[in-house]
Structure 1
Amino acid sequence: MRVRSFGATGHRVPIIGQGTWRIDAAARAEVLATLRAGIDAGMTHIDTAEMYGEAEAILGEALQGLREEMFLVSKVVPSNATRRGVVRACEQSLARLRTDRLDCYLLHWPGSHRLEETIAGFEDLRRAGKILSWGLSNFDVDDLDRALRIAGPYRIACNQVLYHLGERAIEHAVLPWCAHHGVALVGYSPFGSGDFPHPDSPGGRILARIAQAHATTPHAVALAFLTRFEHTFTIPKTSRPERAIRNAGAGTLVLTGDEVAMIEAEFPRGPRPRTLPML
């Protein structure tokens, strides 16, 4: 598994991590086995959130005895993102996760509370050692600029955004902004939330051809494409151990220039949208 610097945190983090949205919809035993299989395969970067139902509690169980190996991320919902609310929400997440700290804590999306308050809460948590860094999620360039003006340089660890083959809008402005300011970009829903290219579609056949050349899967090819930039990460979610192991295989896959060009031609990024796509 390749690792790279996670923004300005100083941490070296696996480029392929594990998402946990809706993991509580599957059988708990299978989810636990999947998370641990992913960890064994090198996916020690795990993302969760307070709004993900039972995900934090399940993850807390899965990580018993493994916490020191992990880069653990959670998120606060905007309605809780006052200065005091951020601290309360984080402490509740820590209790569910059975840990004393998060490696990174994110604002889930821009909300109505003043961003100055949210960032002040993050800094309170950082000084108390309850989080080691903080970041943002679903932030477009204008919001990123505002956060940078408030916090100053090298405080925003990452921006987590929607990024998959069929939704490459972040490549227009958000991805270059993050690269310029030393902010890690974490792509969520890398398989399109159930809309992965069908094997019989033109795009599906391209992915299959590239996968065959590397003795891997079309899903691993997609993950390798999304992490082709030096500051990008991705967090696929699965509830099947064998799929977690296959996802982890993308962490060693390097596509050729021709293969990248083939994928870009089949899945064009399209025009820049007026608003940032998100789920």
Structure 2
Amino acid sequence: MPTIRLLDGSTMPSLGLGTWRMGESRSQRAAELAALRCALDLGYRLIDTAEMYGEGGAEQVIGEALAAAMRAGDVARENLFVVSKAYPHHAGRKSLPQACTQSLQRLGLDHIDLYLLHWRGSVPLSETVDAMRELVAAGRIRRWGVSNFDVDDLQELAEACGAEFDCVANQVYFSVTERGLEHSLLPWQRQRNMPLMAYSPIDQGALASDKGLAQIAQGLGVSSAQLALAWVLSRPGVLAIPKAVRESHLADNLAAASLVLGDDVLAQIDRLHPPPRRKGPLAMI
């Protein structure tokens, strides 16, 4: 699995598993556990979640799956990279440690590898930065970042950080049809060696039926969904966390991480879904 280097010198896998909408229904729990175990068996080591997903339900399902895999010796904790996100109203100096503790309990872990602020709220960024740094110092999280931040948000965050800009990642909606962030946000992050985590890189599955992509993909012997994911992963400094439950989709996404796109293919995609000419609003789901 290719990796992305973070500001602190560590690395994280360039492809992970998203878990949005997991943990919302008890009737789906067995299928979700099976999907997570299948992902681990296939080689996924990056798992992304949030306290918002199923109001903690997704973290509980992940915790159960990870515990079973580690008990069986199928995966070691040091080889996992677990990401979770905190609600904006939990981003304060007192409330963030409490939210982190609850996430750790649901996940059954003693630390979170990357802890993100899910989106901006009313809590001052300086207070959130201090709270995140205290969690790092306490060993409860290894590093921290943000989600759904545009350039102006990151610039304000950089001011709040002071001399040391230690926010290691920004997770945003990015796909071949949602390329607006390529105008300003992605260049800003690249200049600071700050990886971009792309959620919904296949437009929640919609790009699987994109006829234009399908024509290009046919010549490569892959699916349009694989091509769309490979395109996101081909962007320097970008990693992706598509959600998948079926074993075939999990395997297809993993194979897309190894797909190398030539300049001619990238040019065809640019003609089909052109890059932005001006800055627009940040896409969000």
Q: 2:135 is matched with which residue?
A: 125
Cα displacement (A) at 1:274: 4.1
Q: 1:250 is matched with which residue?
A: 256
SS of structure 2 residue aligned to 1:83? coil
Counterpart selection for 2:96 from 77, 81, 86: 86
Q: 1:106 is matched with which residue?
A: 116
Q: 1:4 is matched with which residue?
A: 4
The one-letter amino acid of 1:74's match is: S
The one-letter amino acid of 2:129's match is: I
**CA shift digits 1:16-35 (9 cap, x unpaired):** 11100002357222222222
Alignment partners' CA distance in 2, 1:277 and 1:46: 22
Q: 2:64 is matched with which residue?
A: 61
1:3-22 pair list within 5 angstroms:
3-5=3-5, 7-22=6-21
1:4–1:230 Cα contact (<8 Å) kept: no
Q: 2:22 is matched with which residue?
A: 23
1:99-248 pair list within 5 angstroms:
99-151=109-161, 152-196=163-207, 198-199=209-210, 201=211, 203=212, 207-248=213-254
Cα displacement (A) at 1:194: 4.4
2:16–2:44 Cα contact (<8 Å) kept: yes
2:205–2:225 Cα contact (<8 Å) kept: no
Cα displacement (A) at 1:214: 3.6
2:181–2:279 Cα contact (<8 Å) kept: no
Alignment partners' CA distance in 2, 1:217 and 1:248: 13
| Comparing 16-25 and 211-220, the one that deviates more | 211-220
Alignment partners' CA distance in 2, 1:126 and 1:156: 12
Q: Highest relative contact order (Cα 8 Å, sep 6+), 1 or 2? A: 1
Give the direction of change, closer, same or farther, for the CA distance of 1:153–1:211 in structure 2 (3 Å limit). farther
The one-letter amino acid of 1:191's match is: I
The one-letter amino acid of 1:107's match is: L
**Any gaps of 5 or more consecutive residues in structure 2?**
none
Q: Does 1:269 align with 2:275?
A: yes
1:14–1:42 Cα contact (<8 Å) kept: no
Structure 1 length-normalised TM: 0.92
Cα displacement (A) at 1:197: 5.4
Alignment partners' CA distance in 1, 2:222 and 2:205: 20
SS of structure 1 residue aligned to 2:82? strand
2:151–2:185 Cα contact (<8 Å) kept: yes
2:182–2:276 Cα contact (<8 Å) kept: no
Give the direction of change, closer, same or farther, for the CA distance of 1:25–1:211 in structure 2 (3 Å limit). farther
Q: Does 1:43 align with 2:49?
A: no
1:14–1:45 Cα contact (<8 Å) kept: yes
Cα displacement (A) at 1:4: 2.4
CA-atom RMSD, angstroms? 1.7
Alignment partners' CA distance in 2, 1:40 and 1:182: 31
1:187–1:233 Cα contact (<8 Å) kept: yes
2:24–2:58 Cα contact (<8 Å) kept: no
2:16–2:242 Cα contact (<8 Å) kept: yes
Number of corresponding residues = 273
Alignment partners' CA distance in 2, 1:35 and 1:255: 29
**CA shift digits 1:207-251 (9 cap, x unpaired):** 334433443322111111011122100100012122111111111
Alignment partners' CA distance in 2, 1:192 and 1:100: 33
Cα displacement (A) at 1:14: 1.8
**CA shift digits 1:95-117 (9 cap, x unpaired):** 00000001110000111110111
Cα displacement (A) at 1:277: 1.6
Q: 1:77 is matched with which residue?
A: 87
